[in-house]
């Protein structure tokens, strides 16, 4: 079990979180011990913070079902969107994890922020289901590749409601230890598009953001070559290869609760 606490500590944390959950009739009760402990871990075992994060996490799912349902990867609207992105979840040294989102839609024909939010949340759900007790010390370094955002057409693809919900999820609810956010291939248009949604993020999250221009090597100031896919000058396989693994994860978990 990849975590810093002992089995006894794990049981105690799960017990306290379970007792709290049982006292919250507005929240779902069929939450695993692993997921409850994930909230505690992500908040560095500040139990009140963990309860607040869990409350926000499940309340968002209840209040914005349009982002957490109708996400079948074989449905026509999701298949079109999925063809436009590559996602990867990579293990790094020192108990770190790197999540990468890469746009692969030069004409932005299939991209929509609402579908992006649906897919992002679906992948998170599937990963949490498959890795309930794998906790990372520096949980996520999120790398977002805006290589295809070079046209002002992107502004027609934005949805402020989806942006607000997704930012609240990242800021207050998702049970991970977010450390850095890297925006790569950051064109002028991509920066302007990001400026429209960054106001929804907290100052702490905005302070984590690092921009990397196209064809620059600044990303290597943060990551070694053996930690990155070949798309970013690394020695690991390509993002296309990792996307195959992501889709396998989704298909393995697609019939589990809360993933469709």
- pLDDT for 260 equals 54
Task: With a cut of 80, say whether residue 223 has pLDDT above it.
Answer: yes
Task: With a cut of 50, say whether residue 234 has pLDDT above it.
Answer: yes
C-beta atoms surrounding 221 within 10 Å: 9
- pLDDT for 2 equals 44
**What are 83-113's pLDDT values in tens digits?**
989 999 999 988 899 999 998 887 778 888 8
**What are 156-211's pLDDT values in tens digits?**
667 888 888 988 998 899 999 988 889 888 777 767 767 776 777 777 877 888 88
What is the average pLDDT score of the chain? 86
Between 254 and 10, whose confidence is greater?
A: 10
Q: Which residues does 43 contact at the CB level (< 8 Å), separation at least 6?
A: 49, 50, 53
**What are 6-60's pLDDT values in tens digits?**
677 889 999 999 999 999 999 999 999 999 999 999 999 999 999 999 999 999 9
Angle at which helices 33-42 and 47-63 pack, to 10 degrees? 120
Which tokens in the block code for residue 84? 């436009």
Question: Could you give the count of Cα atoms lying within 13 Å of 93 in the half-sphere of its Cβ?
Answer: 7
* Percent of the residues in the chain that have a pLDDT greater than 90, as a whole number: 55
Mean pLDDT of 113-132: 91
- pLDDT for 254 equals 74
Which tokens in the block code for residue 200? 């929804």
Quick one: pLDDT band at residue 131, thresholds 50, 70, 90? confident
Nearest CA among 157, 239, 154, 222 for reference residue 183: 222
Task: With a cut of 60, say whether residue 4 has pLDDT above it.
Answer: no
């Amino acid at each position: 079990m990849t975590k810093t606490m002992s089995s006894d500590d794990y049981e105690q944390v799960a017990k306290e979180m379970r007792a709290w959950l049982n006292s919250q009739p507005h929240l779902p009760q069929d939450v695993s011990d692993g997921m409850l402990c994930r909230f505690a871990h992500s908040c560095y075992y500040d139990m009140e913070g963990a309860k607040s994060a869990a409350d926000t996490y499940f309340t968002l799912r209840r209040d914005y079902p349009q982002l957490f349902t109708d996400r079948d990867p074989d449905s026509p609207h999701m298949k079109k969107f999925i063809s436009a992105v590559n996602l990867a979840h990579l293990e790094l040294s020192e108990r770190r994890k790197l999540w990468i989102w890469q746009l692969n839609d030069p004409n932005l024909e299939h991209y929509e922020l609402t579908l992006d939010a649906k897919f992002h949340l679906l992948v998170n759900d599937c990963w949490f289901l498959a890795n309930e007790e794998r906790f990372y010390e520096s949980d996520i370094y999120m790398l977002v590749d805006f290589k295809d955002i070079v046209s002002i057409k992107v502004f027609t693809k934005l949805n402020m409601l989806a942006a607000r919900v997704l930012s609240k999820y990242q800021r207050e609810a998702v049970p991970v230890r977010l450390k850095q956010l890297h925006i790569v291939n950051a064109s002028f248009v991509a920066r302007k598009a990001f400026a429209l949604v960054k106001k929804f993020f907290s100052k702490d999250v905005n302070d984590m953001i690092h921009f990397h221009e196209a064809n620059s090597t600044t990303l290597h100031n943060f990551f070694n070559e053996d930690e990155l896919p070949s798309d970013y000058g690394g020695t690991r396989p390509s993002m296309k290869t990792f996307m195959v693994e992501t889709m396998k994860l989704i298909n393995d978990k697609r019939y589990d609760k809360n993933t469709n």
